Structure formats: C-alpha cells, structure tokens
Amino acid sequence: MERSALNTDAARLGRANIIHTYVALAGTVPGATLTRCPGCLIAAAPTDLAFCNFGIDLELDGEDLDPAGVEALRDHAMRHANFRVFNIPTGVDDDAGTALTKAGFLRHHRLAHMVDDGSGLKDDGDPVIEPARHPHERVKLAEFMVAQFFWRQATWTRRHIVDATAGAGHDLYRLGPLTDPTAAVMLARTPQTIGLYNLCVRQDLRNRGFGKAVVRAVQRLARSESATLVLQCEPRLEAWYAHLGFRTIGKLESFALDS
C-alpha cells in the first residue's frame, strides 16, 4: 500500500482499538498472562486456543524487531501450536511483516483494516439495535455469535469463546428478540474510537439486508458519540463495506512460526 493509505490518524486509532479488544478477550481466560517484551506484547494462557495466545503491538528497531522480543515470540510459538503474531501497521515505516518473515514466521491470514468516512451513512429507517444489559443477555448473544462463526469447533472450544465474548466487557448488541436474534455485533470502545467486531446474521436470514441494517445503526451510534468507527474484515467483504461508506486504511496480518 502507499504511504498515504496507511499513515493516518484513523489507522493509529484502529490499531489501539484492536490491541485493546484482543487483550481484553484473552484476559478472560483463567491463568492468562500479559507480558511486555522488547518490541512486543505477548498474551499466553494454559489452553491452546489462538485468541488467548498471541503477540501484538509490534515495534520495529530500525527495520528489524528486537532480538529479545523475537526470541520470546518464537518461544511461545514453539510451545503453543495456535500461537499467532499480529502485525497492524499504521504506516509503511512500521510494517513489521518483512521482519517477521526474516525471523522465521509465515503469513497465515490477512484482514482489511477499514474506517467509516461517513460518506455512505443514510437514514434508511433501519430498526434500532438493542444492547445486552444483563449478564444472562450477554451470554445469550455470545452463544448466538459463536453458533454463527464457530459451529464446526469442538464444544469445549465454543464454550471458551462464549465465556470470553460475554466476559470481556465489550458491548454486545442484537437485532430482533433476545430469545431468537436475527443478527448481532460486538462493539469495543477506546478513546475516540468504536471498533465493530463479530457482525453476524442468522444463517437462514442472510442476504436480506439485516447485516446492512446493523452496520447503519452502529454508524449512527458512532456519529452520535463523535467516535471514529473502525473494523477489520475479510478482503472479499471490502467492497460490501465500501458501499456502506468505509475505506481501507491498512491491514491486519497474522503470522505463524514456520514449522
């Protein structure tokens, strides 16, 4: 990407939101630890789940990562099969992808990092999304989200993800009744920023505009709070979000140790 596409205040705000969101989810797992190493932040937990075993908040030393930080990342990656390192550049000069590759890591996955620029916001008369106000409502919505995204995973894995989603403190919203939601979304708040995560629509109700309705509602919410709205999505969804007024400002890459 060109420097102008990456080096923006929105990219920096989005990066901070991602770090906060991921760290809060990892922190719900019993026994999880968070360690500041030279040039990176490492979350680790006794279980082998990816969402609580990762390196993030990378800082380059020139063109490379700090050797001590690289050693710590490699050590955790060798002990946890699902350990991932997340690269979230906010400008060309801090793109750590090359440094991670030199350190023996391989690109595993890529998401587009996007921001709502307000150009696509319209009042379409979309229904209001309702927040989860009580713990049992949070669990119910977390179960709904996990059923949409992780239905192929083992029962114990889904339970961990439900507990993390319900317990991390991020806001959960639904479209439709709590007993049978149509759609749901998780919103993570950091200073000046709202991050949109886990947008999902019930499988038998997809392609009917419900996902768009939820995004519109979140856009209005962010505007009412004068907050920058950011998200990360699969590259195949970039065009859909662009139609709703989002533009790509960077990327979120995950790396795994080359075995």
For 120-179, write each residue's pLDDT tens digit: 776 666 678 999 999 999 999 999 999 999 988 889 899 999 999 999 999 999 999 999
pLDDT recorded at residue 2: 43
Distance CA 140, CA 104 (A): 41
Given a contact cutoff of 8 angstroms between Cβ atoms, the answer to whether 55 and 41 are in contact is yes
Tokens read off for 233: 């999505």
Domain boundaries, the chain: 3-112+252-257, 130-250
Residue 91's pLDDT is: 83
Report the SS3 class of residue 231: strand
DSSP β-bridge partners for residue 128: none
Residue 168 · residue 152 · CB < 8 Å? no
- Name the average pLDDT for the chain: 92
Q: Is the pTM of this model over 0.85?
A: yes
pLDDT in tens, 46-97: 988 889 999 999 999 888 999 999 999 999 999 998 999 999 999 878 899 9
Contacts of 135 (CB under 8 A, 6+ apart): 166
CATH of 130-250, one of 3.90.1150.10, 3.40.630.30, 3.30.1330.10, 3.40.109.10: 3.40.630.30
Q: Please give the order of strands across the beta sheet that includes 228-233.
A: 33-37, 40-44, 54-56, 84-87, 246-257, 105-116, 228-233, 193-201, 183-190, 171-175, 130-131
Nearest to 33 by CA among 65, 70, 79, 2: 79
Tokens of 30: 């019993």
Q: Centre a 10 Å sphere on the Cβ of residue 24 and count the other Cβ atoms it contains.
A: 15
What's the pLDDT at 123? 66
Give the three-class secondary structure for 79.
helix
Average pLDDT over residues 205-225: 94
Query: Nearest CA to 55 among 86, 31, 33, 20?
Result: 86
Residue 5's pLDDT is: 45
Angle among Cα 246, 110, 121 to the nearest 5 degrees reads: 10
Paired tokens of 247: 């533009």
- What's residue 48's pLDDT? 85
233 within 8 A of 112, measured Cβ to Cβ: yes
Residues 6+ apart with CB under 8 A from 208: none
Mean predicted confidence (pLDDT) in 177-191: 96
